[in-house]
A and B are shown apart, each in its own frame.
Chain A
Amino acid sequence: MRIVVCIKQVPDTSEVKINPETGALVREGVPSIINPFDMHAIEAALSIKEQLGSSAACSVCVLTMGPPQAESALREAVSFGVDEAVLVSGREFAGGDTLATSRALSAAISKIGADIIICGKQAIDGDTAQVGPEVAEFLDIPHISYVKKISGISGAVIRAERMMDDGHDVVEAELPCLITVVRELNTPRLPSLKGKMAAKKIEIKKLGLADLGISEEEAGFKGSPTQVKKIFTPSARTGRRMAEGSIEEQVDAIIKELMERKCL
């Protein structure tokens, strides 16, 4: 069993400031941390490894795409007990949107090999929650997002609870599978001494554009169709209504509403 955890190094939001003119994050002088949701992803991987025990020969690999400094995030992950670390890095990857990022990460995962891929539900500096599911699409494997509980892994099937606004879904998927996790899943552990010592010594595997078989046009800024025009906090969703009655009545009501709004 091989688990790959995708992590991102992000500015510590409790310290971050926003440039009022550009709306962009001011990153200078702000300490970097592992994206908090990814800490739960690491914990999930390590506890799966522990539960499966040594017989399953489970190893956990942590993967990030980022500048050379992102190595420190990988080393921190190793201090918690992760076995291997891979850094996707290179000038060509700079300025990538979620599509370019997912393309690069999925290419790296194909090289590393994985039965389970775990991501945090979103990164706190982008908040898109897109990279996890997009990686799964590139790899053409199922994904379960917003996992708040992993009920079990048996044979080649994972069973998990997906958090919803009004409760949760119980979802089963075949491995290989990608999950994205929420804070409710677990409490991230502290580092261990053996982990900290390993983190100092571990050789971090580096992958570049050529290793991943991606063209320059597909990477970084060039490979990114998304253009950020403005960053703002959307106003809270209001006016939600629940359709009532039998399923047929509910469907009729929704179709009618959608037609009135010229959506259909």
Chain B
Amino acid sequence: MDYFLSEEQLMIKDLARQIAVEKVVPVREELDEKEEFPWEIMKALAQSDLFGLFIPEQYGGLGKGAFELALAVEELSKACVGVATTYAANALGTYPLLLFGTDEQKKKYLPDIAAGKKLVAFGLTEANAGSDAGGIQTTARADGDHYVLNGTKQWITNGGEAEIYTVIAITDKTRGARGASAFVVEKGTPGFSFGKKERKMGIRASATRELVFEDCKIPKANIIAREGMGFIVAMKTLDNSRAGVGAQGVGVAQGAIDEALKFARQRVQFGHPIISFQAIQHMLADMATETEAARALVYAAARYIDSGAKDVTRASAMAKLFATDVAMRVTTNAVQVMGGSGYMKEYPVEKMMRDAKILQIYEGTNQIQRNVIAQALIKESAAASKGK
């Protein structure tokens, strides 16, 4: 399929693919096995300017958008979702600054992020606040020209490895959803430490840790947007980045199809390559069709985001939901096509299937995506009937 990419977009895709093939594929199995953070690959991505893709040129980036980011994420995910998660979570953590930061904050943080000198993480989830983000208990108390943070964020991607953290905390308990605010916290701030690294089913190259705040004092200037805007910052951030999770789904699904196809053409049973069996052919046909549909939806959502549309919540939720459900199905079926070989670590689809699972969970589970989409439908329908 031709998505009419511009010359620059093709360049971005080619470069991300080159990094995936030359730098990621040779080490992905080892990174997974050892749960090793992919610093070497992050360095290569930085040197190639890919960290600056979605950051405006005035802050040292390339001034591209969610679509170009999705292209890069897709290519990396074809090779390894663990690596792609590390890269994509960096964008997730950057969006609060990009969307709501002051010019001063942008000048301070974005150039280093664009250059890949500093990684970023986004801290919303807590032990008692997963899908129900409104339940967060981490607090930020104003104290003179400082805020004092207390509480623990859980399962934060790039936790411990990143230098810059965008964190949501409660500034006023009495105000409910309007009582949260967003902050930027730098690694090394006294009172800010990390929990142990989590051991995971998949995306084991990515680092997931707790962020622990104990009377952590940060300057007042570190608030992002205004007091009370925390959940708006979080929701807009997720709106922008969820299409990227969809792109991860498209990438890993495509990677699995490529492997399954290659295998099915070579594996002989009953005197024929298994690809000559219609049962296998139909599985592959469905896998390819679903993946292409997911790609089209993700690209459309990302381009919609870049168009400057005001409300992209539904579009990005749909892209995330559909593409990641497809990713789970396609990677599972890739294992099925390859039989016992698919289940073995000698072939990459075993890892792809483990990795794909996270995509249905983080940045809002797919049940939550359905809630979000349904709410948008209800709102739209109600507005339409009111207008009559």
Question: Which A residues lie at the B interface, using CB under 8 A?
Answer: 189-197, 200
Are B8 and A191 closer than 8 Å at their CB atoms? no
- Residues of B within 8 Å of A, CB-based: how many? 17
* Residue interface mask B1-23, A partner, CB < 8 A = 1: 00000011001100100110011
Check B47 for interface membership: any CB of A closer than 8 A: yes
- Name which of B8, B15, B19, B23 has the most chain A CB atoms within 10 A of its CB: B15
With A190-B48, A192-B48, A195-B49 given, can you name 19 additional A-B contacts, CB distance below 8 Å?
Answer: A189-B44, A189-B47, A190-B15, A190-B22, A190-B23, A190-B44, A190-B47, A191-B15, A191-B18, A192-B15, A192-B47, A193-B11, A193-B15, A193-B49, A193-B50, A194-B49, A196-B15, A197-B8, A200-B7
A-B contact count (CB 8 A): 34
Which A residues lie within 8 Å of B23 (CB)? 190
Looking at chain B's contact residues, the main secondary structure is: helix
| Residues of chain B in range 87-117 having any CB-CB distance to chain A below 8 Å | none
- For the complex, give the distance between the alpha carbons of A201 and B124 in Å: 44
Are A190 and B18 closer than 8 Å at their CB atoms? yes
- For the complex, give the distance between the alpha carbons of A191 and B48 in Å: 6
Which A-B residue pairs are the 6 nearest by beta carbons? A193-B49, A192-B49, A192-B48, A196-B11, A194-B49, A190-B48
Q: Give min CB distance, A210 to chain B, whole Å.
A: 36
Which B residues lie within 8 Å of A190 (CB)? 15, 18-19, 22-23, 44, 47-48
- For the complex, give the distance between the alpha carbons of A192 and B19 in Å: 11
Q: Give min CB distance, B332 to chain A, whole Å.
A: 33
- Name which of A190, A191, A193, A194 has the most chain B CB atoms within 10 A of its CB: A193
Are B62 and A194 closer than 8 Å at their CB atoms? yes
Which A residues lie within 8 Å of B49 (CB)? 192-195
- For the complex, give the distance between the alpha carbons of A196 and B9 in Å: 12
Cβ-closest chain A residue relative to B11: A196
- Name which of B18, B49, B62 has the most chain A CB atoms within 10 A of its CB: B49
- Name which of B12, B48, B50 has the most chain A CB atoms within 10 A of its CB: B48
- For the complex, give the distance between the alpha carbons of A196 and B50 in Å: 12
Cβ-closest chain A residue relative to B44: A190
Which A residues lie within 8 Å of B48 (CB)? 190-193
